[in-house]
Structure 1
Amino acid sequence: MTAPSFLYLASRSPRRRELLKQAGIPFCLLDIEVDESVLPGEPATDYVERLARKKAASAWKALSAAGVKEQAPVLAADTTVALGADIMGKPETEQQAVQMLMQLQKQVHSVHTGIALCYGGNIETRVVTTIVRFSEFSQDIAEQYVKTGEPMDKAGAYGIQGFGGVLVAGIEGSYSNVVGLPVQETVELARLFNVPFWQKPADEGDGQRL
């Protein structure tokens, strides 16, 4: 295969788009849906790696089936929050979001992101973990934050890069990982497949909507 000039991002996350732009990696967008259910007894690190791999492979298969002429690697990722052995996904209701935040307050939790890059028959994966410590806050503060709407599409019901940063007392590890895509490890994978990085920003196209 010739060296690709871009990659496909199999994600709807605007935060991942911004982080790819930060790394200067050219990309187009793909829509892909997979079952994100946690398997019984599945550790959080295994869960995010499995989903990232599944998303990347499914997107590559969809590209091939659609007969897309411009071949390029597919990047997929999955991020979750774990409090001990408990995996905390995205809240389904505002009440659930408040409950999640109250579980996390004054606690140390882990944010795990699995990333996968698929090109042809090859898939490379990485799992990155960041330790996050929350400050002490009242339920009233949690309810006020949930009313902003920010927590509703985020694992663990908070966004460190937004209003939710007020709740974070400290982190150990990759900040971009908590946002949703560990930049250093993503570039590492991109380099394995000769995908360019540190390119001047350009408006990404809509890519293939599959």
Structure 2
Amino acid sequence: MVYLLEPKPYTWIRSPGLPSELLDKQVHGVTLAHEDVPAETTVKGRVALPDICHANDGLLFVSERARAALEELVPGRVAFFPLNLKASENLLVGRGFFLFDVLPRAQLIDWDLSLTAPRIVRPADGRESRALKAGIADPSVKFKAVRPETPPIWREADLDRPTVNFFASKKHVFLRDETWEALNARFSGQLVARKLGY
């Protein structure tokens, strides 16, 4: 099965102010660098941050404890960037947080079975470009079966055909079944159990 790495919703008073350029890079699959992360960002909330969470724009970040778990479960597959969160101690409870970038790419969306719509933006060669018509968790989105070579964690790659480019947002992080189960066991109650369709 394929799982979406989706933290349970957190109610912010003030969400991390991460630049739109950072989100744009993640959507297009540009590898992040230290200079992409803001020097400081202010956050406000009422209770301690979970170990795996996301800002209102969907950018994922993790605590030191979650970083250690990911480094153990998927070694060498995730890059971490310290996130300087300016927040009250009751929010941080002595923990550091990291923005992260998932390095492997895989192509598991079944574009032949999923509903698509044309994109305004086309590839440089002028071919048609299409994207998913609905959100990634919509039942109309179908995935191919996980294969032995599928990474334990990945961001989706585009599919290029001679006359059309199928564009997938690289913002979403996907996990193999066993990877999600292991992460969920360590951070019980922090993740949404969202299996994606076959």
TM-score normalised to structure 1 length: 0.33
Higher helix share goes to which structure? 1
TM-score normalised to structure 2 length: 0.34
